[in-house]
Amino acid sequence: MLSKKLEKALNAQIRIEAESSQVYLSMACWAEVKGLEGVAGFMYGHSHEERMHMLKLVKYVNERGGHAIVSDLKAPPIEFGSLPKMLKALYDHEVFVSQSINELVHVTLEEKDYATHNFLQWYVAEQLEEEALARTVLDKINLIGDDKGGLYLFDRDIQQLTVESAASETMEE
């Protein structure tokens, strides 16, 4: 059974995951109308992934005797200025989500809820990968600068880009 404090914290994270999905969906739309089909596909995929993260939390809260709350969401931005600025916003958002997950893990320790602590370790590892991927994408676009040919190749190749973080390698051994 979840404590009320932990249930509230998990519901706050559900909202963050839902808003993340919306932010990435908005980024996908922005990229698509700019002719960046590869970037759009990458962001559509991330939007879907964040929604799956939210649903995993929803199911967990309900299965543990809590009540997952579907709340209103803050509207995401619709304009990002430039691709480097959008990818910087992506990276900054992943750092924010990581901080939120870390706070949530802290609450599990305060509440001595080791089952939820264990459940959240998947999110901790996932965020290491998400941050590493966002940093890699940002680094690559910054390397390209104003090179249109480089941008074309980046857009073509981004959907195949994955990054294995150090955490995921050790977790699989």
Which residue in the block uniquely carries the two structure tokens 């939210």? 54
32 labelled binding-site residue: no
Among the residues of 34-147, which ranges form H helices? 37-63, 83-110, 114-144
17 labelled binding-site residue: yes
CB 7 within 8 A of CB 66: yes
Residue 113 sits at the vertex; the CA angle it makes with 53 and 70, to the nearest 5 degrees, is 35
Nearby residues of 128 by Cβ (< 8 Å), 6 or more positions away = 98, 165, 166, 167, 168
In angstroms, the CA 133 to CA 148 distance is 22
CB 120 within 8 A of CB 113: no
Q: What is the residue type of 166?
A: A
127 labelled binding-site residue: yes
Could you list the residues known to form a binding site, using ranges: 17, 50, 53, 94, 127
Could you list the residues known to form a binding site for Fe cation, using ranges: 17, 50, 53, 94, 127
